[in-house]
Amino acid sequence: MDKIQINGGRKLKGEVTISGAKNAALPLIASAILVDGTCEFFNVPHLMDIKSIKLLLEDLGARCTFDDHVMTVDGSGIHKIEAEYDLVRKMRASILVLGPLVARFGHAKVSMPGGCAIGARPVNMHLTGLEALGANIHIDHGYIEARADRLIGSDIYFDTPTVTGTENLMMAATLAKGQTVLRNAAREPEIVCLADALNDMGAHISGAGSPMITIDGVDKLLPAKVTVIPDRIETGTFMVAAAATQGDVRVTGCNPDHIGGMISKLKATGAQIETRPDEIRVRGGETVKSVDIKTLPYPGFPTDMQAQFMALMCTARGTSMIHESIFENRFIHANELMRMGADITLSQANLAMVRGVPELQAAPVMASDLRASASLVIAGLMAKGTTVISRVYHMDRGYEAMEEKFSALGADMKRIK
C-alpha cells in the first residue's frame, strides 16, 4: 500500500484551490437514480469514493462517464435494484442509493454499509423514516430490503440530526405522493446543495438549511446540470495546516460562509484570517494559543475537523479540551499523535485533554480513517524530521491530490508507492 513521506519544519506559503466537496458530490450522484435521463455534475473531485459510487451506479445499469471533473449519469438504463456487498462495503455513503431506488422502482435491496472505523453510525433513522413513508423494511443476511408500490408523504422526526438520513429521505420523498416534513433535519451546506439540485430536476423542496424541510412529492424528475459546492472540510484542513506551520496561505475557490465556526476557532488560536467571497487568507502566528472545541451538528464545529484541530493544539501554549459529541470512537488518531510526542490524555471516550508541547517529533505513524490521515499530515508538516504515514488509502477517499497541493505550497511531501 502507498505511504506518504513528509520532511517537516517548512512554512507553507502560496495559493491552493479547493476541490468539489465529496460529501456533496456523493448524494448528488445518487440522486441521478431518480431521473429517467442524463444528469451532468460539474466540479466533481477525483477521489476513491467517487469511483466507488460510479461503479455502484454502473452495476445497477446506469451509464456513467467521468472526465475532467465532470460526471454524467444516465439513469434510463437502470434495471437492477440490488446494491451488492462488494460494492457497498468500501463506502458508507452507498446507503444513499436506498431512498432513490425504492422511490423510483418501488423496491430496493442494499447491503449494510461499511466505511471508516470511527464508531457506530446506525442507519436506523433511514429505515424508520422509510417505514413512515410506507415502505416495508426487511433486514436479512446483511441486506436491507425495502418495498413500496409508491411512497406516501409523512411527518418524520429525527431523534438527532443525521446528514445521510436527511439526504436519503429527502430524495425518497421527492417522488412520494403528498407532502413530507422532515423535522430536526440536518442543516449542512451539502443538504442545501442537494435540495437545490433536486429542485432543478423538478422537485418541490423548501426549508433546506433549516431544521424543518418540506417536500411536496411530484410524479417524476427531469435531467439537470448541477455544480458541486466547494469542500469545506478540505478548506478547513488547509487553513489549519497554514496556522500550524506559521505559514501564509491563500485558500481559493472556497465558501467562507460554510465554515464560520472554523474561522472563529482559528482566530482564537492567534491566526490572522482575511475573507473574501470565495477566498480565505490564513497567516499563522509565531505561537499558537490553546482553544477548547466541542464538535456539534452544523453550524457548530464539524466533527470532520476535530482531528486536524487536535494536531494544531499539540504545540499550542496551554491546555485545550476537545469534546467529540458526534461519534464515540473518533480519537484513534490521538495515539498516533502521541507517538510523535504529543501530550494527550483521553479522560473519557469522548473527551481529550491536549497539553501543548514545544514541538512534535517525526515518527512512522498509521492512519485509521479519512480525517485522521489529514491530522497526521498536519502533524508531519509541523514536526522536525521525516514522518512516514501508512494506510493513506483513507486519505485518497476524501482528499484530491493532497500531496501535490501541499507540495505546491512548499511542503516536502511525496507519495511512496
219/234 same-domain check: no
Among the listed residues 146, 80, 136, the one whose alpha carbon sits nearest the alpha carbon of residue 108: 146
Considering the domain architecture, whether residues 58 and 127 belong to the same structural domain is answered as yes
- Based on the fold, state whether residues 216 and 257 are members of the same structural domain: no
Q: Which of 186, 169, 183 is nearest to 212 (CA)?
A: 183
Q: Are 121 and 94 members of one domain?
A: yes
Q: Which residues of 375-395 are buried (b: 16+ CB within 10 A; e: fewer)?
A: bbbbbbbbbeeebbbbbbebb
373 in the same domain as 242: yes
CA distance 91 to 114: 5
Residues 111, 182, single domain; the answer is yes
Q: Which of 227, 260, 289 is the last residue of a domain?
A: 227
Q: What is d(CA 278, CA 282) in angstroms, rounded to the nearest whole number?
A: 14
This prediction's pTM: 0.95
326 is in an annotated binding site: yes
Measure CA 163 to chain center.
10
CA–CA separation, 124 vs 247, rounded Å? 44
Are both 79 and 212 inside the same structural domain? yes
Q: In this structure, are 12 and 57 located in the same domain?
A: no
Kindly tell me if the per-residue pLDDT of 121 is higher than 60: no
Domain of 153?
A: 22-227
Q: Is the peptide bond before 299 cis (omega within 30 degrees of 0)?
A: yes
**Residues 6 or more apart from 43 whose CB is under 8 A from it?**
19, 20, 69, 227, 228, 229, 230
Which member of 39, 64, 116, 193 is catalytic?
116
CATH number, residue 11: 3.65.10.10
Binding site annotation covers 67? no
User: What is the Cα–Cα distance from 51 to 66, expressed in whole angstroms?
Assistant: 9
Q: 274 with 161, same domain?
A: no
pLDDT in tens, 136-147: 999 988 899 999
CA–CA distance, 387 with 379 (Å, rounded to integer): 9
In this structure, are 218 and 270 located in the same domain? no
Residue after which a domain boundary falls, among 193, 227, 261: 227
Element (H, E) at 266: helix 260-268
Per-chain mean pLDDT for the chain: 95
What does the pLDDT look like over 148-207, one tens digit per residue? Answer: 999 999 999 999 999 999 999 999 999 999 999 999 999 999 999 999 999 999 999 999
Reported as a pLDDT band with limits 50, 70 and 90, residue 1 is confident
- Here the cell at position 377 is 499530515
Q: Is 317 annotated as a binding residue?
A: no
Concerning whether 116 is annotated as a catalytic residue, the answer is yes
212, 227, 242 - which closes a domain:
227
Closest CA to 322 of 302, 344, 288, 294: 294
Q: Mean pLDDT across the stretch 298-317?
A: 97
The angle, 0 to 180 degrees and rounded to 10, between the axes of the packed helices 98-105 and 124-132 is: 20
405 labeled part of a ligand binding site: no
* pLDDT attached to residue 117: 47
Which pLDDT belongs to residue 254?
A: 98
Q: Average of pLDDT values for 101-109?
A: 97
Task: Flag whether 3 is marked binding.
Answer: no
Pairing of strands 248-252, 143-147: unpaired
Q: Would you list the DSSP string of 6-74? A: EE--PPPEEEEEPPBPHHHHHHHHHHGGGBSSEEEEES----HHHHHHHHHHHHHT-EEEEETTEEEEE
Burial of 286 (0-12, 13-18, 19+ CB in 10 A): exposed
**Eight-state DSSP code of residue 228:** P
Q: What is the pLDDT of residues 267-289, one digit of tens each?
A: 999 999 999 999 999 999 999 99
pLDDT on residue 386:
98
Higher pLDDT, 113 or 153: 153
What pLDDT, on a 0 to 100 scale, did the predictor assign at position 412? 98
Residue 119 has pLDDT above 90, yes or no: no
Residues 260 and 213 in one domain: no
Residues 152 and 290 in one domain: no
pLDDT exceeds 50 at position 226: yes
The string of pLDDT tens digits covering residues 26-38 is: 999 999 999 999 9
Say if residue 88's pLDDT is above 90. no
What is the reported pLDDT for 329?
A: 75
Reported as a single tens digit per residue, the pLDDT across 336-358 is 999 999 999 998 778 999 999 99
Strand, coil or helix: what is 153?
A: coil
Least confident interval from 20-29, 82-91, 221-230, 261-270: 82-91
Looking at the structure of the chain, the number of domains it has is 2
